[in-house]
Chains A and B, each alone.
Chain A
Amino acid sequence: MEVLGVGIALLTMFVGFGLLIGILFGFFGMGGSFLVTPALIVMGYPTRVAVGSGLAFVFGTSIIGALRHRSLGQVDYTLAALMTVSVTAGIEVGKRGVFALESLGLADTVVSIAYIGLLGAVGAFILVDSRRKSNEESSDTADDQVGLFSRIRVPPMIDLTGGPSISVWVIFAVGLVVGVLAGFLGVGGGFLLMPAMMYGFGVPAAVAVGTDILQITISGGVGSLLYAQSGGVDLSIVVPLLAGSALGARIGAAATKLVDEDAITGYFAVMLLLGAVAVGVRQAGNYLGIEMLQVVSLVIIVGAALFVSGAVVTLSLRELRAVRTSTPQSNTD
């Protein structure tokens, strides 16, 4: 039996995989194309279809995630708009850098090394920081919300959700740098935007995730439209994946209200570090001509996604149980 031209077994697998990715996406504001595209390539889909369908899936999932975060009051629209403009401009500059490297025959090597280095460095920094914060039992939460760029007071200044006041010029500059890196690496930039907003601007983790997802909705929509024009979007992939991720994104977004902020950043860091390992293994496979390493890379990514999403759900249920025990009549989201 087939639905949408796809067998029931494959359809069920897509829905389950979507659920898993949805939880991570709703919780971290990243992980969509990062997980889906390599999985589809390993399953034998052409790269164009894998990338295009991955983008369309990210677009759909991010709409649901953004709506959910909006209902939880975790989206800063001004910041999302400013970041979208600056990141888009930056992506164009980054792409030109890749084309220049391509003409020198160095693009693949340089981009791969930069990707692994950046994922690893950002992941290690966030992991160390979240460990430090959880060890400081008497840490001052007000101090934790002061962003790295809060001291730059070049007008006009805007007040962001969660309290911080940041110069518009600083937001543009950070968005531009993130955009250049995203365009250079060929990624959406979610894993760069979330820490940039948290550490750079001092925005709370949940708001950084919500705002990041709204920005991804816009870029994902434009990207999937471009790929759809060349036949790169396959609805038989996108529809079942989205059916699962729509539920997962609700669970992930609700979990950001329950799970401790340090735990969010800690798990985010683990995802990035395992992502760096997976990309490293895949590149080693390409370099050495060992196809098996592509599968190993995918197993690391899917295994990490399973582990982290499982941990998110378990921690959320534990928190929910604790909240209900202390206030039995409270209505938790």
Chain B
Amino acid sequence: MFGIETLGSTLQSVVLVGLVLVEALALYVGYGTLEEAVGERFVTAFTGE
């Protein structure tokens, strides 16, 4: 998957963990942007105001 099977085992493991790190950072930024955009409206809807 992701074309990393051809790499050596050590490099492959570093790339795998690196991909998890990149995904985590991308999600942190992505959800952060989403929170800024619609968070207030979402909370207002849930708190019933």
Contact = CB atoms under 8 A, between A and B. Distances in A.
Interface string A151-183: 000000000000000000000000000000000
Interface stretch (A74-82, A205-213, A241-249, A263-271): A241-249
A118 interface: no
Chain B interface bracket (under 10, 10 to 19, 20 to 34, 35 or more): 20 to 34
Interface in B1-21: 1-2, 9-10, 12-14, 16-17, 19-21
B24 A242 contact: yes
Contacts of B35: 250
Nearest to B35: A250
A316 to B, nearest CB: 10
Given A221-B17, A242-B20, A64 B28 contact: yes
A63 B13 contact: no
A131 interface: no
Nearest to A4: B1
Contact of B48 (A4, A56, A239, A321): A321
Nearest to B40: A331
Contact of A63 (B9, B19, B25, B32): B25
Given A235-B2, A235-B19, A247-B31, A225 B14 contact: yes
Contact of B21 (A60, A229, A320): A60
Main secondary structure of the interface of B (DSSP, over half): helix
Contacts of A56: 16-17, 20
A56 to B, nearest CB: 5
A61 B24 contact: yes
B38 to A, nearest CB: 12
A250 B2 CA distance: 28
Nearest to A225: B17
A25 to B, nearest CB: 12
A317 B31 CA distance: 19
Contacts of B46: 317
Contacts of A229: 9-10, 13
Interface in B24-48: 24-25, 27-28, 31-32, 35, 43, 46-48
Contacts of A30: none
A236 interface: yes
A249 B17 CA distance: 19
Interface in A61-110: 61, 63-64, 67-68
Contacts of B32: 250
Contacts of B47: 317, 320-321, 324
A332 B46 CA distance: 14
A332 B47 CA distance: 13
Contacts of A289: none
A61 B20 CA distance: 9
A228 B12 contact: yes
Interface of A: 4-5, 56-57, 59-61, 63-64, 67-68, 221, 224-225, 228-229, 233, 235-236, 238-239, 242-243, 246-247, 250, 317, 320-321, 324, 332
5 contacts: A4-B1, A225-B13, A233-B13, A242-B23, A246-B24
Given A221-B17, A225-B17, 5 more contacts: A59-B24, A68-B28, A233-B20, A235-B16, A246-B27
10 tightest Cβ-Cβ pairs between the two chains A and B: A228-B13, A246-B27, A60-B24, A63-B24, A229-B13, A321-B47, A228-B16, A60-B20, A64-B28, A225-B17
